[in-house]
Amino acid sequence: MDEGIEAESSPRRFTSRTLAGLLALVTPSLPTAAARAEGVAPPVFVSVDKLVRSLESVASEQERLPFVRAEFAELVRTHGLLDSADVYRAYVRVRMIFEAAREGGTWRIRWRVTDREPRSDEIWREWRALRSIPPEREPTATAECDELAALFSFLVRKLGVPETGLFWSTRDHAIAVWTAPGTSKKPVRIPVPTSQVGLDEAETIGTKEVDPWKQKTIYPYSRKDVDDQVTLPGRIATFLVAAARATAVPRAELDAARNIRVNSFPP
């Protein structure tokens, strides 16, 4: 773990028996509890660069999880992904950021129509403006579908997965798409539904409800939405890392928690 951002050091398995248990995937006290136990206060400010390096450490931990490997194997089987170490490494980072940054994911971003540009600038501004972590049933930021897709694409590119971009499934709705090597010479496009608009609650990475080839070209998202040296409040950065680590549970549990979280957000 990169010094300066404290969080729990190993993946913890959560159950989905109760609302409290599900929402405990990302309880506001999680990031600071470990620091208090060690007598270490969270840093006052953390740069985006340090945040990304900490997220990379979390992703490296998740590469060893059997259920993550099993989920990847399912994509290999159903979508013809190339079963290689490099593609698996990319998948782990795609999965982690998707489950954190999606609508109602562990970073608790709420979907709303904002009529803003398709970029993640405003999400970062909202996080930077926070002085404490909101209660667990409240969002940390609000964004529209294309902003969520931009946040996902921006961060996975920072984690070494550049072939992601925005896909307009309809005239006014966007998700992300990850383009990866396939077993044939043709690349494979994997839909990444960063919001559930028009989709069933169970749809996730690789959904067959979207045809990613409908859009002729998917341009890699190369915009620099926030500078590496921009800082976030330390408690917020610590929360983001801990909440990314909270994606280290099987997909069914993440989906159940996400659906409850979305329905618990205030209007």
pLDDT in tens, 129-142: 999 999 989 999 99
C-beta separation of 54 from 5 below 8 A? yes
Q: Is the pLDDT of residue 212 over 90?
A: yes
Confidence grade of residue 267 (pLDDT, cut at 50, 70, 90): confident
> In the beta sheet, which residues pair with residue 189?
179
Instruction: Give me the chain's average pLDDT, please.
Output: 87
Helical (H) or strand (E) element with 47: strand 45-47
For the ranges 18-22, 124-128, 209-213, the lowest mean pLDDT is seen at 18-22
Give the model confidence (pLDDT) of 169-204 as tens digits: 888 899 999 999 999 888 999 999 999 888 888 889
pLDDT in the model for residue 5: 55
Q: What is the pLDDT of residue 39?
A: 52
**230 Cβ partners below 8 Å, 6+ apart?**
47, 48, 124, 128
What average pLDDT does this structure show over 241-264? 95
- What's the rounded Cα separation, in Å, for the pair 60 and 177? 22
**Cα separation of 114 and 45, whole Å?**
28
Long-range contacts of range 211-218, CB-CB < 8 Å, 24 or more positions apart? 212/167, 212/177, 213/189, 214/169, 215/167, 215/168, 215/177, 218/165, 218/166, 218/167, 218/177, 218/179, 218/189
Q: Which pair of structure tokens corresponds to residue 210?
A: 């979207």
Domain ranges of the chain: 19-264
At residue 33, the pLDDT reads 40
For residue range 89-124, what is the model confidence (pLDDT) as tens digits?
999 999 999 999 999 999 999 999 999 999 999 999
What type of residue is 225?
Answer: D
Question: Which of 3-12, 70-79, 128-137, 233-242 is the least confident region?
Answer: 3-12
Query: Which residue has 């957000």 as its token pair?
Result: 265
- Give the pLDDT confidence score for residue 23 in this predicted structure: 52
Give the integer Cα–Cα distance in Å for 39 and 121.
34
Contact predicate 192/94, CB 8 Å: yes
| CB-based contact 7:241 (threshold 8 Å) | yes
Residue with tokens 């608790």: 108
The pLDDT score that the predictor gives to residue 3 is 44
Please, are residues 123 and 151 in contact by the beta-carbon 8 Å criterion?
A: yes
Q: Which residues are CB-neighbours of 12 under 8 A, at least 6 positions away?
A: 246, 248
DSSP, collapsed to helix, strand or coil, labels residue 212 as coil
Q: Give 28 or 17, the one with higher predicted confidence.
A: 17
Structure tokens at 81: 């992904």
pLDDT band at 86 (very low <50, low <70, confident <90, very high): very high
